[in-house]
């Protein structure tokens, strides 16, 4: 059975992510212990809230360097994805630096509300095992005011007034800006793919 650790950094979505993974047959532990996290087969960094608060929580737990050093597959979800980047405008905070780039606030425009809340379309940019079985035009559920730029590490985009990175990958580190635990069959497929061989 796949041993998955959810990093307990105070995210409100911890329980729902755990339940979604357990339905897929994973053995899930929530932990803020660096040694336990390092021993897992898969690590997930969920998150809801502000980047500066999330990074402060990781520092309090002594997990910043531990997460930077992980070699097994790592998935950041929502705020957890944003924390994988170099920095964020939200609180003007340095983040984990696992993926290059700076997370910026979504621009409000006529007819475009911030925060971005609701279902939106995914547009895959390149093949990746995390998106196996998820085709162009499938929908996912987003709740966010900040977003990562579209770069060479972007696997799929979405748009809310402007394009942004919806799924990213750098090495063995992935991120999903949307909430897979709230994205019906599309989200379940992404999580199931994360539990498989991702080489």
Q: Which of 78, 95, 125, 173 is labelled catalytic?
A: 78
Q: Which of 116, 144, 160, 179 is labelled catalytic?
A: 179
- Note if 181 is an active site residue: yes
Give the E-state strand segments of 60-134 in sequence order: 74-77, 85-88, 93-94, 99-105, 116-121, 123-124
Q: What radius of gyration, in Å, describes the C-alpha atoms of the chain?
A: 15
Element (H, E) at 142: strand 139-144
Q: Which of 90, 125, 138, 181 is labelled catalytic?
A: 181
- Note if 78 is an active site residue: yes
CA-to-CA distance for 186 and 131, rounded, in angstroms?
A: 9
- Note if 65 is an active site residue: no
Provide the pairing of β-strand 139-144 with 123-124.
unpaired
CA-to-CA distance for 191 and 180, rounded, in angstroms?
A: 7
Edge-to-edge strand list for the sheet holding 146-147: 93-94, 85-88, 99-105, 146-147
Closest CA to 67 of 172, 165, 144: 172
Question: Which tokens hold the place of 100?
Answer: 């290059």
Catalytic residues: 78, 179, 181
């Amino acid at each position: 059975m796949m041993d998955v650790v959810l990093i307990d950094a105070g995210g409100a979505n911890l329980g729902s992510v755990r339940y979604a993974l357990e339905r897929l047959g994973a053995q899930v532990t929530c932990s803020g212990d660096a040694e336990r996290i390092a021993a897992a087969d898969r690590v997930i960094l969920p998150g809801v809230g502000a980047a500066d608060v999330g990074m402060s929580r990781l520092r309090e737990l002594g997990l910043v360097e531990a997460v930077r050093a992980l070699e097994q597959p790592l998935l950041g979800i929502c705020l957890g994805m944003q924390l994988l980047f170099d920095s964020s405008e939200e609180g003007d905070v340095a983040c984990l630096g696992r993926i290059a780039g700076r997370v910026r606030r979504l621009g409000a425009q006529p007819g475009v509300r911030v925060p971005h809340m609701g279902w939106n379309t995914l547009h895959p940019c390149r093949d990746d095992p995390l998106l196996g079985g998820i085709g162009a035009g499938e929908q996912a559920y987003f709740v966010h005011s900040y977003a990562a730029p579209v770069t060479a590490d972007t696997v799929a985009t979405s748009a809310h007034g402007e394009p942004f990175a919806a799924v990213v990958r750098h090495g063995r580190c992935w991120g999903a800006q949307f909430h897979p635990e709230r994205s019906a069959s599309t989200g379940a497929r992404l999580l199931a793919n994360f539990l498989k061989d991702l080489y």
